[in-house]
Amino acid sequence: MNVNKERIMQRIDDFARFNDNDDGGISRFSYGNADAKARAWLMQICEELQLQVTVDPVGNIRAHYEGRDASLTPVFIGSHIDSVRNGGKYDGVVGVVGAIEVLSVMRENNCLPRRSVELIIFAEEEGSNFGTTMVGSKALIGKLSVTDLEHLHTENGKKCTEVLEEAGFELGKMGDYILKPGDIDAMIELHIEQGIVLEREKKHLGVVQAIAGMATIEVTVCGTSNHAGSTPMHLRNDPMSAAAILIENIEDTAVNHILESTVATVGSIACKPNMPNVIPGEVSFTIDIRDIDQDAIQKTIRRITDCAEKISLEREVTIQFRTIGSSLPIRLSPRIMDIVKRAVSSCSDSWMEMNSGAVHDAAMMASVTDVGMIFVPSVRGKSHNPEEYTSSSDIVLGCQALLLAVTELCA
């Protein structure tokens, strides 16, 4: 059995039509208008493939392709369809389209596997609504309770629970959908690399060994707001200056004091009252820390908080830290990795084992099942922006490798 290149690329293009943005990038947030239209279109495809569809109370979609032996737990394949603001059209979508293609090929070839296969589309993977990633997969494995969701909110202050209820979801039933160890046999996620390793190594496919853990921290620096012209420099308690020094220390920590694999990013910043002629009273920003070594993440946090304590004393400001999201590094399943290696080597001699610096829903699923991942190259390592691109030939190779891995797992 072989995947259909034209159908794959057409479906990727079709997804790009569902977009709340008109300036060249893709903005498709979970629970928004474009997301609702994309989900409706997906449901039509699932109906055409005669799949049994369920949607849980946080919006995760599961579409079941029945196998011969109902006593066997299923294999999950899929990814996410939400995006960052002004992102690209391949992130997440390649994995969803690849999974749909696997089921399309199986259906048109009258392939009835022994073990069932389920397409899964995770909601709110990117964290674009609430500032924390993988909300759908975390809720699915019981890592986020309804109480936890109450504490997540949009940048406008709307609670996650309000957003879900307005979208028509009944959070009270989430307990009926939580997955436990033993409920599924395995999961394989196809994804673009979102980095430059495969391209630099001139490889067409990657077999993921480990996925980085992450900590997302909100930092709030409070000082004294005052007139920008009449307040002498030596009498200021300026939180912006203090924040700037701390941000410089964050970069220095990741570059020079932890591991080569450690990364730390300040991705958003805001100040109050945000006026050109007023010394701010408060500055807040986020830190995204990632590594495949959990100890390195903790060391990074400790060094940054030590730096903050010194800056706080020197600058006479207060600095508070709040963790708004986290995930542990994981090593992927040797069993699934072996199957994936056989699959990719059947498709191409050009592949390598590698780690993922980006987090994925597969990382969450590893707490309840064996997980594997297949990467395809990102041209120039670009992702989370409109320049994101993966060649059709590499996408087709990834889809074919996914098909081979799934058929072996489900045989």
| pTM, full prediction | 0.85
Return mean pLDDT, the chain. Answer: 95
Average pLDDT over residues 298-314: 97
- Residue 132 pLDDT: 84
- Secondary structure, 3-state, the chain: CCCCHHHHHHHHHHHHCCCCCCCCCECCCCCCHHHHHHHHHHHHHHHHCCCEEEECCCCCEEEEECCCCCCCCCEEEEEECCCCCCECCCCCHHHHHHHHHHHHHHHHCCCCCCCCEEEEEECCCCCCCCCCCCHHHHHHCCCCCHHHHHCCECCCCCEHHHHHHHCCCCHHHHHHCCCCCCCCCEEEEEEECCCCHHHHCCCCEEEEEEECEEEEEEEEEECCCEECCCCCHHHCCCHHHHHHHHHHHHHHHHHHCCCCCCEEEEEEEEEECCCCCEECCEEEEEEEEEECCHHHHHHHHHHHHHHHHHHHHHHCCEEEEEEEEEECCEECCHHHHHHHHHHHHHHCCCEEEEEECCCCHHHHHCCCCEEEEEEECCHHHCCCCCCCCCCHHHHHHHHHHHHHHHHHHHC
CATH 3.40.630.10 residue ranges of the chain are: 5-212+329-410
327-345 pLDDT, tens digit each: 889 999 999 999 999 999 9
| Least confident piece of the model among 55-64, 112-121, 126-135, 392-401 | 126-135
Q: Which fold has domain 213-327?
A: Alpha-Beta Plaits (3.30.70)
241-269 pLDDT, tens digit each: 999 999 999 999 999 999 999 999 999 99
Task: Please state the CATH superfamily assignment of the domain spanning residues 5-212+329-410 in this structure.
Answer: Zn peptidases (3.40.630.10)
Whether the per-residue pLDDT at 131 is higher than 90: the answer is: no
CATH 3.30.70.360 residue ranges of the chain are: 213-327
- Residue 359 pLDDT: 85
149-200 pLDDT, tens digit each: 988 999 888 999 999 999 999 888 888 999 999 999 999 999 999 999 999 9
